[in-house]
Amino acid sequence: MDFVSTRIITGDVARLVAFYERVTGVAATWANDDFAEIVTPHATLAIASERTVPLFAPGSARPAANDSVIIEFLVDDVDRVHQELADSITDWVNGPATMPWGNRSLLFRDPDGNLVNFFQPVTPAAVERLAGR
C-alpha cells in the first residue's frame, strides 16, 4: 500500500485551489470544475467540490468542517516562507517555532479553516528521520 493523496471537500474549489497554488508555488492540475490536484513529488493534495460527495456516499463529508487534521508540507526554509507569505495568509495560528521533535514549523489556516503546517527538520534526529523519504 502507498499513501498518495489527501482530499479536501470545499464549497469553492477555485478559491481554495488559488490559495494552495499561491502558498505552495505549484500549479494545479484540473480534471474539471469540481476537481483539481496540487501534485508534489511525494504526495497529492486533491481539492474537490461538495458536489462530488454523493458520488462516494451522500452526506459523508462536509466542506469547512475539519477540526482534527493538519495538512503538512516539507519546505526548505520555514522562516523565509513565513516572510514570503506574510501578505497572503490571514489566519496565522503559530509563527515559526521549533517543535520538541526537531521540526521548525509554521502553522496557519487555509480559507476553509483547515490547518496547514509548513515545516523543515532542523535537528540531526529530525533530518535523519526524514532522510529516507
Domain-wise residue ranges, the chain: 1-58, 68-133
Q: Is 74 left (phi over 0), alpha (psi -120 to 50) or beta?
A: beta
d(CA 96, CA 107): 8
Angle subtended at Cα 90 by Cα 37 and Cα 111, rounded to the nearest 5 degrees: 35
d(CA 71, CA 5): 11
d(CA 37, CA 69): 18
- The highest-level CATH class for domain 68-133 is alpha beta
User: What would the pLDDT profile of 37-52 be if each residue is shown by its tens digit?
Assistant: 999 998 999 999 999 9
The answer to whether 37 touches 46, Cβ cutoff 8 Å, is yes
User: What would the pLDDT profile of 80-98 be if each residue is shown by its tens digit?
Assistant: 999 999 999 999 999 999 9
Domain made up of 1-58: CATH architecture: 2-Layer Sandwich (3.30)
- pTM (2 decimals)? 0.93
